[in-house]
Amino acid sequence: EDKVVQSPLSLVVHEGDTVTLNCSYEVTNFRSLLWYKQEKKAPTFLFMLTSSGIEKKSGRLSSILDKKELFSILNITATQTGDSAVYLCAVDPNTGNQFYFGTGTSLTVIP
Amino acid sequence: NAGVTQTPKFQVLKTGQSMTLQCAQDMNHEYMSWYRQDPGMGLRLIHYSVGAGITDQGEVPNGYNVSRSTTEDFPLRLLSAAPSQTSVYFCASTKGGTGRAQYFGPGTRLLVL
């Protein structure tokens, strides 16, 4: 059964800390892995990773994919209160339109 | 571009009532999907469409119908609402081809009493 598992379920850190969020997956086929940020509204797209070992970076956020070990990490450095959100990982299995989502990691950044 | 739009933002229904959640996108995306999001369950796919006139079931299709008469619109119909359908509903669209990213609408919060 195809699935996406994220860890930890929740995380509380202080401003300035660095956090690492994990996403592991098992899918029959694989096209890409996507990270989303969800505040109290719709998920917004962060990164899409298709190739192993190539880091995607946007400001203080970065992500990397390991297709051999079937996981991805999302790093956030120098966290700010505005980073507080649920971070979702999804896998595009290259069949139809069935993106598989993890249940998310809830990040709370305390001032 | 408005992106993906959804209406209404919030709705209260009584058990047994019917309603249609509207979704539209102006990005000319081929793929459109409906998800529901419940606490601790993540996003679950209800129905999806790979183009006008083509729809298919996702993970949790029971109690919902969809149609896709145009590329832009993908309404979700609840024929006889049940309390178990209380949830937040997101519509998403995806450009076809390789390297697809889904773009979500703002969501509809539905409460069924």
Chain B residues with CB under 8 Å of A44 CB are 104
- Which among B40, B102, B107 has the least Cβ separation from residue A99? B102
**Distance, in angstroms, between B8 CA and closest chain A CA?**
14
C-alpha distances (whole Å) from B38 to each of A24, B12, B85 are 21, 17, 10
Tell me whether residues A45 and B103 touch, CB distance under 8 A: yes
pLDDT tens digit sequence for B59-71? 899 999 999 999 9
Q: For all residues of chain A together, what is the average pLDDT?
A: 91
Peptide bond connecting B8 to the previous residue in cis, omega within 30 degrees of 0: yes
Helix (H, G, I), strand (E, B) or coil at B30: coil
- Asked if A31 is an interface residue toward chain B (Cβ–Cβ < 8 A), one would say yes
- Residue A53: per-residue pLDDT: 78
**Distance of alpha carbon A42 from alpha carbon B103, whole angstroms:** 9
**Residue pLDDT, tens place only, A70-97:** 999 999 999 999 999 999 999 988 776 6
* Residue pairs spanning A and B at CB distance below 8 A: 56
Which residues in chain B land under pLDDT 50?
A: none
According to the model, what pLDDT value does residue A97 have? 60
Neighbouring CB atoms inside 10 A of B35's CB total 26
Q: Hey, are the CB atoms on B102 and A104 less than 8 Å from each other?
A: no
Residue A90 · residue A4 · CB < 8 Å: yes
**C-alpha span between B105 and B96 (Å, rounded):** 18
CA A5 to chain centre: 10
